[in-house]
Amino acid sequence: ETGVTQSPTHLIKTRGQQVTLRCSSQSGHNTVSWYQQALGQGPQFIFQYYREEENGRGNFPPRFSGLQFPNYSSELNVNALELDDSALYLCASSRMTSGGQETQYFGPGTRLLVL
């Protein structure tokens, strides 16, 4: 177990709805990254948060947004859901130091189904 937790584990939504996914970081970690893993694919980087600010973003539209809280937990919000948003959403936490970012540890994921 990595100490990274995510909620909920499963979620079903319909097209056009909005969803919020949550992630609690491993103790001592200050950085959170979110990935989308479509069925049969490798995870794709969505964005990363460090010190409550976005610190890099992948090729995802603005309807994917996030937050990081002072306790380093994080939320991923997706507006105007589309069928192609159906995927496993993975959160990874790590520690950023003056020497760079350390290894990312993943949570179990939230499986989102959009109907």
Partner 1 sequence: AQSVTQLDSQVPVFEEAPVELRCNYSSSVSVYLFWYVQYPNQGLQLLLKYLSGSTLVESINGFEAEFNKSQTSFHLRKPSVHISDTAEYFCAVANPNFGNEKLTFGTGTRLTIIP
Q: Tell me the closest approach of the beta carbon of residue 81 to partner 1, in angstroms.
A: 22
- Site track 72-91 with partner 1 (rule: CB under 8 A), x = hit: ------------------x-
How far is C-alpha 6 from the chain's CA centre?
Answer: 9
Q: Give yes or no for a contact between 105 and 2, defined as CB atoms under 8 angstroms apart.
A: yes
The correct pick among 60, 75, 95, 108 for binding partner 1 (CB under 8 A) is 108
Stretch that binds partner 1, among 13-21, 30-38, 64-72, 74-82 (CB under 8 A): 30-38
One-letter amino acid of 100 = G
20 near partner 1, judged by CB under 8 A: no
SS3 85: helix
**Residue 109 in contact with partner 1, rule: CB under 8 A:** yes
Q: How far is CA 22 from CA 28, 40, 46, 87, 100, in A?
A: 18, 23, 14, 15, 25
Enter the DSSP assignment of 52. Answer: T
By CB under 8 A, name the binding residues for partner 1: 2, 6, 31, 33, 35, 40-45, 48, 50, 55-56, 58, 90, 92, 100-101, 103-109
